[in-house]
Amino acid sequence: MADARVQAARTLGEVLAKHCSLNKPFDTGINKLDERDRGLFQELCYGTLRWYHRLEAIAGELLQKPLRNKDQDVYALLLIGLYQLEYLRVPDHAAISETVNASRALKKPWASGLLNGALRSFQRDREQIFKKISGKPQASFSHPNWLVARLQQSWGAQASRILHANNQQPPVCLRVNLKRQSRDEYLVKLQQAGLQAQPLASSPSAVRLLSPLDIQQLPGFSEGLVSVQDEAAQLAAYLLALEPGQRVLDACCAPGGKSCHILEAEPALTELVCLDSEQDRMARVEENLARLQLSGATLTTGDASTCQWWNNQPFDRVLLDVPCSATGVIRRHPDIKLLRREDDLAKLSALQQAILNNVWQMLKPGGLLVYATCSVLPEENSELITQFVTDHKDAELAPMDADWGIEQPAGRQLLPQLEGPDGFYYARLIKAG
């Protein structure tokens, strides 16, 4: 079986060389490891990506020239070594020797001297290196420069808190299936299992665990008593103001967390149409519905920016959780900092407008649409909704009587918080009738 460091280097090397999401390489890598090595593998992958831009700046001071694209696994191994020296409690000598040894397992023994020299140079010259990179925002905040600038422009003094929260491990938040039990009943189950947790005021179904664990170990998880879902995402079902007999559309639904919550919150819907453009992602929706023992959903594969999939039957409620920059959930998906580019924002905004314009015609007069993103950038959120209401005379902003988030010209914005919710945006629109 492969060592955790070796497999982490291969996994991150693939992300860097192919500029791809961590998801598939991570799943491939962790399945090659013994159970005892999986925790370290996950820590090395997520931690190195979380601090990538700072580690990259340090590596730039240690390497005489960049490594070739085919040697991105070696570069990843260098970053992994630096991450251990700077952020983990691994003894320095062990972090260096194990990292150097991993280069041989990668069948690149030529890299052992390079890695040993670079890591020992960092160990020796740490303070001088930190002085050299201290004036660079990308290194100081461990975010790409363009995103640091966007956040400072949008949120001023709050930007530093967002950047700090993005670099921390996220809390584990659960959604209790209130169709099967009360939250208090599930809190008792957690206590009996020796797990510390607290109820959250933001959502009647939300519980935060006070320490991380393997989700499969949660009491009743496989039986559908509980799901993992951030408290910010749990607000969506309640904002829909669901009632028995309604037809509801959950557009862009995969992986199905909000779809399942809708059925838990109002089991007496006439129909819930779950729409997503990717067939393989719909398999995740099916798995979640089956585990939670939920029925009443119609799963449809189709493009939310077109009407080809629609049967011309209007909806009473629409949840529109559009594709976005995901800048509010960076702490859960740190590869976003590497993958997202500033010029993606205009393309995403155009797609969001196209989907909203298209789905709006599917809403009944008098119906309610909830627009959601996991972004903290106004051009995807309040600015877009403000423009939509200006352009559509039949669109009205619905009131949001809430004590969470920050009131915006349109809707409310949650920013990522330490031991708090992810970054999320919500707006409610009523169709005049």
Write the DSSP symbol of residue 431: E
Task: Tell me: is residue 256 an annotated ligand-binding position.
Answer: yes
User: Residue 257 annotated as binding?
Assistant: yes
Residue pair 107/67 in contact by the 8 Å Cβ criterion: no
CA 71 to the chain's CA centroid: 28
- Cα–Cα distance measured from residue 90 to residue 315, given in angstroms and rounded to the nearest whole number: 56
HSE-up of residue 144 (Cα within 13 Å, Cβ side): 14
Active-site entry in 173, 274, 324, 374: 374
Question: Tokens 């659960």 map to which residue?
Answer: 174
Instruction: Please tell me whether the peptide bond between 378 and the residue prior to it is cis, using omega within 30 degrees of 0.
Output: no
For 387, the enclosing helix (H) or strand (E) is helix 382-391
> Is there a binding annotation on residue 255?
yes
Q: Is 315 helix (H, G, I), strand (E, B) or coil?
A: strand
276 is in an annotated binding site: yes
Answer yes or no: 374 catalytic. Answer: yes
Give the ranges where 134-206 is alpha helix by DSSP (H): 137-141, 145-155, 159-166, 183-192
Q: Which of 196, 188, 198 is nearest to 220 (CA)?
A: 188
Whether 321 has a binding-site annotation, put simply, is: yes
374 closest CA partner among 320, 338, 418 = 320
133, 34 in Cβ contact below 8 A? no
List of long-range contacts for 282-291, beta carbons under 8 Å, 24+ apart: 282/254, 284/254, 284/255, 284/256, 285/253, 285/254, 285/255, 285/256, 285/259, 286/256, 287/256, 288/227, 288/255, 288/256, 288/257, 288/259, 288/260, 289/256, 289/259, 289/260, 289/263, 291/222, 291/224
* Radius of gyration from C-alpha coordinates of the chain: 23
194 Cα distance to chain centroid = 28
- Rounded CA-CA distance 80/119 in Å is 10
Contact 331, 166 (CB under 8 A): yes
Q: Is 367 annotated as a binding residue?
A: no
Is 253 a known ligand-binding residue?
Answer: yes
Residue with tokens 């949840």: 319
Number of CB atoms found within 10 A of residue 308's CB: 6
Q: Which residues are annotated as a binding site?
A: 252-258, 276, 303, 321
Q: Which residues are annotated as a binding site for S-adenosyl-L-methionine?
A: 252-258, 276, 303, 321
Catalytic positions, please? 374
